[in-house]
A = this chain, B = another copy of it.
């Protein structure tokens, strides 16, 4: 790679970070907590948002990132949540979201009465973590089906997050997973991270998650 190409990438990242900083400030001023959910495909992000909406309904808004389809948006709309879909397919199938796209989305969304803005990032444990969106809380969702070693193998998402949601706890009895080792691996990458264990299926941990959200809004 020539120095020129590195310079181009640097420029894009600097611009992204500037927009992210502005978004973070603006949403804080408006009293809206901005949470960026990142994970592998199929970790249960959409299902968690459906469960969250049952409690917070019209107080939350979701910006949904997908390469293709509006399947998740349709699920959330059925749950009565305001939702804005970003499809990256027409832009080369991008594997992550960028702060500029969130800014564009927000310019078209009415956030009156909204207390929590969620971004459901593209299902990818690698690339989204490289792009700061300006979220107040980056939350990485890790399903118990993915194995204990994933925090060590994909460290950036865990390093850049303030919260790790360990999902699908209901499947634990059917797996050989060592949950304590999974948590130790998460903390090896990020000693300060808050971990919440939950199951959208059984409701386990949902109260802790909602309490966490309420505390973010107060703080």
Contact = CB atoms under 8 A, between A and B. Distances in A.
B67 A154 contact: yes
Nearest to A173: B174
Interface string A141-172: 00101110110111110000000000010110
B93 A95 contact: no
Interface residues on A, range: 35 or more
A126 B125 contact: no
A150 to B, nearest CB: 5
A95 B126 contact: yes
A143 B42 CA distance: 9
Q: How many copies of this chain does the complex contain?
A: 2
Contacts of A58: none
A68 B152 contact: yes
A66 interface: yes
A153 B95 contact: no
A168 B144 CA distance: 13
A69 interface: yes
A114 B155 CA distance: 33
Contacts of A171: 145, 171, 174-175
A35 interface: no
A206 interface: no
A40 B149 CA distance: 14
B125 A127 contact: no
B174 A123 contact: no
Contact of A127 (B40, B72, B95, B170): B95
- Closest 5 interchain pairs by CB? A42-B146, A95-B126, A145-B145, A40-B40, A42-B147
